[in-house]
Amino acid sequence: MDSQQGVYMDTDAVRGMAKNFGAIGDVLQAVNKAMETLSNVLKATAFVGMVGGLAVAHYIDSIRPQIEDIAEKCEEFNKDLDASVEAYERGDELGSTRFH
Protein backbone atom coordinates (compact mmCIF):
# COMPACT_ATOMS: atom_id res chain seq x y z
CA MET A 1 0.00 0.00 0.00
CA ASP A 2 1.44 3.40 -0.90
CA SER A 3 0.97 6.55 1.14
CA GLN A 4 -1.64 7.88 -1.31
CA GLN A 5 -4.13 5.19 -0.29
CA GLY A 6 -4.26 6.27 3.36
CA VAL A 7 -4.42 4.41 6.62
CA TYR A 8 -7.38 2.21 7.51
CA MET A 9 -8.21 0.48 10.74
CA ASP A 10 -10.76 -2.17 11.61
CA THR A 11 -11.82 -0.36 14.76
CA ASP A 12 -14.01 -3.21 16.04
CA ALA A 13 -11.10 -5.66 15.78
CA VAL A 14 -8.71 -3.27 17.52
CA ARG A 15 -11.23 -2.59 20.28
CA GLY A 16 -11.61 -6.36 20.68
CA MET A 17 -7.84 -6.71 20.99
CA ALA A 18 -7.79 -3.96 23.61
CA LYS A 19 -10.56 -5.70 25.55
CA ASN A 20 -8.67 -9.00 25.43
CA PHE A 21 -5.48 -7.38 26.70
CA GLY A 22 -7.48 -5.76 29.50
CA ALA A 23 -9.00 -9.11 30.47
CA ILE A 24 -5.59 -10.80 30.42
CA GLY A 25 -4.20 -8.03 32.61
CA ASP A 26 -7.05 -8.44 35.10
CA VAL A 27 -6.55 -12.21 35.28
CA LEU A 28 -2.81 -11.83 35.80
CA GLN A 29 -3.38 -9.27 38.56
CA ALA A 30 -5.71 -11.76 40.29
CA VAL A 31 -3.13 -14.53 39.87
CA ASN A 32 -0.49 -12.25 41.36
CA LYS A 33 -2.68 -11.52 44.40
CA ALA A 34 -3.40 -15.22 44.89
CA MET A 35 0.30 -16.02 44.69
CA GLU A 36 1.05 -13.29 47.21
CA THR A 37 -1.49 -14.77 49.62
CA LEU A 38 -0.11 -18.27 49.09
CA SER A 39 3.43 -17.02 49.68
CA ASN A 40 2.40 -15.35 52.93
CA VAL A 41 0.68 -18.53 54.14
CA LEU A 42 3.74 -20.62 53.28
CA LYS A 43 6.02 -18.19 55.12
CA ALA A 44 3.76 -18.38 58.16
CA THR A 45 3.82 -22.19 58.13
CA ALA A 46 7.62 -22.07 57.83
CA PHE A 47 7.66 -20.06 61.04
CA VAL A 48 6.04 -23.00 62.87
CA GLY A 49 8.45 -25.56 61.47
CA MET A 50 7.30 -26.47 57.96
CA VAL A 51 10.54 -25.43 56.27
CA GLY A 52 9.69 -26.91 52.85
CA GLY A 53 6.97 -24.30 52.51
CA LEU A 54 9.56 -21.56 52.80
CA ALA A 55 11.37 -22.84 49.71
CA VAL A 56 8.11 -22.83 47.77
CA ALA A 57 7.36 -19.32 49.04
CA HIS A 58 10.72 -18.09 47.77
CA TYR A 59 10.03 -19.70 44.39
CA ILE A 60 6.62 -18.01 44.22
CA ASP A 61 8.18 -14.70 45.19
CA SER A 62 10.69 -15.05 42.35
CA ILE A 63 7.88 -15.53 39.79
CA ARG A 64 5.52 -12.81 40.99
CA PRO A 65 7.47 -9.80 39.62
CA GLN A 66 7.34 -11.21 36.08
CA ILE A 67 3.60 -11.85 36.33
CA GLU A 68 3.01 -8.35 37.65
CA ASP A 69 5.15 -6.88 34.85
CA ILE A 70 3.22 -8.77 32.14
CA ALA A 71 -0.09 -7.73 33.72
CA GLU A 72 0.97 -4.08 33.65
CA LYS A 73 2.07 -4.37 30.01
CA CYS A 74 -1.29 -5.91 29.04
CA GLU A 75 -3.14 -3.10 30.78
CA GLU A 76 -0.92 -0.58 28.98
CA PHE A 77 -1.68 -2.24 25.61
CA ASN A 78 -5.39 -2.02 26.46
CA LYS A 79 -5.15 1.74 27.05
CA ASP A 80 -2.86 2.34 24.05
CA LEU A 81 -5.10 0.43 21.64
CA ASP A 82 -8.23 2.20 22.90
CA ALA A 83 -6.48 5.57 22.52
CA SER A 84 -5.39 4.63 19.02
CA VAL A 85 -8.95 3.78 17.96
CA GLU A 86 -10.27 7.01 19.46
CA ALA A 87 -7.58 9.04 17.65
CA TYR A 88 -8.35 7.25 14.38
CA GLU A 89 -12.09 7.89 14.73
CA ARG A 90 -11.60 11.61 15.30
CA GLY A 91 -9.18 11.85 12.38
CA ASP A 92 -6.03 12.54 14.38
CA GLU A 93 -3.17 11.92 11.99
CA LEU A 94 -0.52 13.84 13.90
CA GLY A 95 0.83 10.77 15.65
CA SER A 96 -0.32 11.94 19.06
CA THR A 97 -1.05 8.37 20.13
CA ARG A 98 1.25 5.40 20.22
CA PHE A 99 -0.17 3.19 17.47
CA HIS A 100 -1.85 5.58 15.05
Q: What is the rounded CA–CA span in Å between residue 47 and residue 40? A: 11
CATH number of the structural domain 11-90: 1.10.287
Read off the pLDDT of residues 36-82 as tens digits, 9 standing for 90 and up: 999 999 988 887 777 788 889 999 999 999 999 999 999 999 999 99
Residues 6 or more apart whose CB falls under 8 angstroms from that of 93 comprise: 7, 100
Spatial separation of the C-alpha atoms in residues 31 and 78, rounded to whole Å: 18
Overall pTM surpassing 0.85 (yes/no): no
User: What band does 8 get if pLDDT is binned at 50, 70 and 90?
Assistant: confident
d(CA 83, CA 58): 39
Helix (H, G, I), strand (E, B) or coil at 15: helix
